[in-house]
Structure 1
Amino acid sequence: MRIGPVHGIALLSTGLLAGAFGYGAVNLVPTFHAVPLSMRLSFHAELMKMNGITMQAAMGAAFLSSLALAVLAGGRARLIASAAGLLTLASFLTTRFGNVPINGQIKRWAVTSAPAGHAEILGRWELFNDLRTLTALAAFGLLIVLALRVPGRAPSAL
């Protein structure tokens, strides 16, 4: 199998992941702060219905394609692709064990009411969101580094 198509898929999937998380961090989170809490909770709960499927698929594709690239590449390229894969795995683990449990709480609050300590919990969600965004961006950046290698040289020659 040629390494180029695998690298392209890895770039595309990590780029989509980083872009989605980046959009959320730059646009959605500030909007959450600008609207009434009840609106934020309702919107957040609805958004997570679709995000639960699409973002996990994006994280899985980014991880698997980075891993496949690491297997096919050699030398420093293997290390860089492996690091990108580990960073996408970190995004997934942060999401699964950080954001998702809080999303469950937010879903309950949307139909009832937020508890007294809700601001701290929402702040933790935002911290996890920032972390997963940074790990996804770093993974994408590493794969860009591989794409910008000297033309005509194989990734294993890095």
Structure 2
Amino acid sequence: MRIRLVQGAALLSTGALAGAFGYGAANLVPTFNAVPLDMRLSFHAQLMQMNGITMQGAMGISALSALVLAAVTRGASRWLAGGAGLLALASFLITRLGNVPINGRIKQWAATSAPADHAEILARWEAFNYARTGTAFAAFALLILLSLRRSHSAHDPNARP
């Protein structure tokens, strides 16, 4: 029962994380690029302020729950859960080391003006965003695979957990 609860928490949190990042990559980034720069900067700065706690919390819960799942399982399930935990941790590190410093610069630009090389910096932010989105989706996919394997083995008495 404990494993199922941890697995459920891991699936829920990584699914929410992947969904939020996926929405941002598919909808917010193209919208950012379609509006005037001053509007993008103002909206981006406010959005990142709101996302600061929720997204980092989702990344933390995703990594922690998947790593706990790895600790309480064995065999291939341990490897899948551990991989998912490391991928969620990668999303966190990409965000903290890549996106967050650029978000600070964007906040300054929103209050003043963007530098001449702003397009390169915004492109770098987008690259980090796509990377963290990919790691979040990969973490979720591994946990789905783990869940499908466990579900299959629960119905097959000859299958290994």
Q: TM-score range by the shorter chain?
A: over 0.9
Once the 2 structures are TM-superposed, how far is the Cα of residue 147 of structure 1 from its aligned partner? 1.0
Distance 1:115 1:49 in 2: 21
Q: Deviations over 1:134-158 (max 9, x none)?
A: 000000000000111115169x934
Q: Residue 35 of structure 1 aligns with which residue? A: 35
What one-letter code is carried by the residue in structure 1 that aligns with 2:16?
L
Is the 2:153–2:160 contact (alpha carbons within 8 Å) kept by the matching residues of 1? no
1:39-66 per-position Cα deviation (integer Å, ceiling 9, x unaligned): 0000000001111100010000000000
The residue number in structure 2 matching 1:129 is 129
2:8 is aligned to 8
CA distances 1:6-47 after superposition (whole Å, capped 9, x unpaired): 100000000000000000000000000110000000000000
Q: Look up the match of 2:47.
A: 47
Q: 2:119 corresponds to which residue? A: 119
Gaps of 5+ in 2: none
**TM-score, normalised via structure 1 length:** 0.96
Equivalent position SS for 1:115: coil
Q: CA RMSD in A?
A: 1.5
Task: For 1:62 and 1:152, locate their aligned partners in 2 and report how far apart those are by CA, in whole Å.
Answer: 24
Helix, strand or coil at the partner of 1:113: coil
Q: How many pairs are equivalent?
A: 157
* Structure 1 residue aligned with 2:83: 83
TM-score by length of structure 2 reads 0.94
Tell me the distance in 2 between the aligned counterparts of 1:88 and 1:136.
6
Structure 1, gaps ≥5 residues long: none
Whole-angstrom CA distance in 2 between matches of 1:68 and 1:76? 15
Runs of 4+ that moved beyond 2 A: none
Aligned-residue sequence identity (percent) comes to: 68
String of CA shifts for 1:118-137, please: whole Å, max 9, x gaps: 00000000000000000000
Q: 91-100 or 1-10: which moved more?
A: 1-10
CA contact (8 A) 1:70 1:79 kept: yes
> Following the alignment from structure 2 to structure 1, what is the Cα–Cα distance between the partners of residues 15 and 155?
23
